[in-house]
């Protein structure tokens, strides 16, 4: 992280306890300026989709900090078409925490969450979210909504936020099986969520708008599948941040024109990119530590390895029918590769690894994330038995004091060295 960002983060961090209102305004302005920069003056170093999504995500977070009443705080797996059709903005712990960390001011929020009872072993994305709320930087939204899918941190942090903010909270219970009955059960809950969302938004949901949102989701996902079909053949200049943005886009923004536009831009980016050549192709599992410059440098720029995909960006590319909006949204959560036993997620990565002719897999074990830690070693065993060398990399997607950068770079470099030797024998 560069010195100017560090200094800015320090300036903000020191003022959070006594001047939270000022910090909130500065953060909102910063993200709005970042959005303006990415949209009006995009860097030629990066892909068009990356710049567009960077601009959109910064704008959404800036808007939410500035005026939270017209927004919903959700978890990453929550289908959001209902909210988009009601013109509610949405964000999730991962998106907020990654932006705050890249502004170098996550520490006071983590400490505030811990001072209010969050365990040090709790997922750091959720500790940042809790701290943002406890300090008053992130104020009461119109609604909280989350699923039970995959992430157990949701159950604790969103309940605490409901108490703190005093706003309605909806929980979508996702069965562990992927049957038609499970889809119908979730669809029914999503339909029942409508009156609550309407009340929170202060307007009625128009059926046509919801269908339009689901049609946009289907188009967005179709563009992403098209992008994936070409991704492994080309070299793109950057990996960590674009993959994180793809994760956010393929969950939170599905149902918006912006999501569809971004994934269309991705297809353009790969069609005009140079061939990947002899670079080693890595599939990534779970979140990516995009603030760790030393780790990023191993995978992008002048290097012979490239991250070509992240399982959290394509966990639920399932068929969607705008005429059946609730069923379509439900299918996306129920059939996500993150739902059910770990073997589903492992199987999906194996399928993609074969499809994209990956050379290796990295499983990123986010601090406090039991569901990824629980499957990591079984996944490694399965991938290696199928010819895909695998590294289990412990780390933290947003707490810079818990990053263990030297250890991560040493382990990643050693793995890549082995991979090179393995491939050359």
Q: Which residues bind ligand SF4 (CB under 6 A)?
A: 93, 123, 125-126, 150-151, 153, 287, 366, 368-369, 371
H-helix or E-strand spanning residue 229: helix 207-231
Note whether 35 and 134 are within 8 A (CB): no
Q: For ligand SF4, which is the closer residue by CB, 28 or 129?
A: 129
Q: For ligand SF4, which is the closer residue by CB, 292 or 366?
A: 366
Give me the least distance between CB of 123 and ligand SF4, in Å please: 3
Give me the least distance between CB of 338 and ligand SF4, in Å please: 8
Q: Residue 59: which region, alpha, beta or left (left: phi > 0; alpha: psi -120 to 50)?
A: alpha
Q: For ligand SF4, which is the closer residue by CB, 153 or 186?
A: 153
Give me the least distance between CB of 389 and ligand SF4, in Å please: 24
Q: For ligand SF4, which is the closer residue by CB, 107 or 336?
A: 336
Among 108, 152, 148, smallest CA distance to 130 is for: 108
Give me the least distance between CB of 147 and ligand SF4, in Å please: 11
Note whether 67 and 87 are within 8 A (CB): no
Among 179, 170, 174, smallest CA distance to 149 is for: 174
Q: For ligand SF4, which is the closer residue by CB, 55 or 397?
A: 397
Among 263, 265, 262, 270, smallest CA distance to 237 is for: 270
Going by C-beta distance under 8 Å and a sequence separation of 6 or more, which residues neighbour residue 261? 52
CA–CA gap between residue 216 and residue 258 (Å, rounded): 9
Q: For ligand SF4, which is the closer residue by CB, 178 or 371?
A: 371
Give me the least distance between CB of 118 and ligand SF4, in Å please: 12
Give me the least distance between CB of 125 and ligand SF4, in Å please: 5
Locate tokens 């939204």: which residue? 141
Positive/negative CA dihedral, 324, 330, 331, 333: positive
């Amino acid at each position: 992280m560069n010195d100017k960002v560090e200094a800015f983060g320090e300036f903000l961090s020191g003022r959070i306890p006594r001047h939270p209102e000022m910090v909130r305004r500065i953060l909102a302005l910063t993200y709005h300026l970042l959005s303006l920069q990415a949209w009006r003056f995009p860097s030629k170093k990066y892909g068009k989709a990356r710049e567009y999504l960077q601009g959109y995500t910064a704008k959404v977070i800036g808007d939410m900090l500035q005026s939270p009443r017209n927004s919903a705080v959700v978890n990453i797996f929550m289908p959001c078409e209902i909210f988009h059709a009601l013109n509610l903005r949405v964000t999730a712990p991962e998106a907020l925490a990654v932006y705050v960390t890249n502004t170098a001011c996550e520490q006071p929020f983590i400490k505030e969450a811990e001072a209010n009872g969050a365990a040090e072993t709790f997922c750091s994305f959720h500790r940042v979210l809790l701290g943002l709320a406890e300090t008053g930087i992130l104020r009461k939204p119109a609604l909280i909504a989350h699923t039970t899918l995959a992430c157990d941190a949701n159950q604790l942090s969103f309940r605490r936020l409901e108490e703190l903010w005093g706003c309605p909270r909806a929980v979508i219970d996702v069965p562990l099986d992927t049957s038609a009955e499970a889809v119908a059960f979730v669809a029914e809950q999503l339909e029942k969520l409508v009156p609550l969302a309407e009340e929170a938004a202060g307007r009625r949901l128009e059926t046509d708008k919801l269908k339009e949102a689901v049609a946009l989701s289907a188009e967005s996902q179709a563009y992403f599948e098209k992008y994936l079909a070409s991704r492994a053949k080309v070299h793109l200049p950057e990996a960590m941040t674009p993959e994180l943005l793809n994760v956010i886009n393929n969950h939170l923004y599905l149902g918006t024109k912006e999501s569809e536009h971004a994934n269309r831009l991705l297809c353009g980016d790969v069609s005009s990119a140079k061939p990947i050549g002899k670079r080693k192709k890595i599939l990534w599992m779970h979140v990516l530590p995009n603030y760790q410059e030393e780790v990023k440098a191993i995978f992008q720029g002048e290097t012979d390895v490239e991250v070509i995909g992240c399982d959290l960006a394509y966990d639920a590319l399932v068929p969607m029918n705008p005429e059946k909006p609730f069923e379509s949204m439900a299918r996306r959560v129920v059939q996500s590769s993150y739902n059910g036993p770990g073997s589903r997620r492992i199987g999906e990565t194996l399928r993609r690894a074969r499809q994209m002719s990956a050379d290796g897999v990295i499983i990123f074990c986010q601090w406090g994330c039991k569901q990824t830690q629980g499957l990591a070693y079984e996944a490694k065993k399965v991938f290696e038995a199928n010819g895909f060398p695998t590294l289990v990399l412990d780390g933290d997607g947003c707490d810079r004091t818990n990053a263990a950068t030297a250890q991560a770079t040493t382990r990643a470099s050693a793995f890549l060295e082995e991979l090179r030797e393995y491939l050359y024998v």
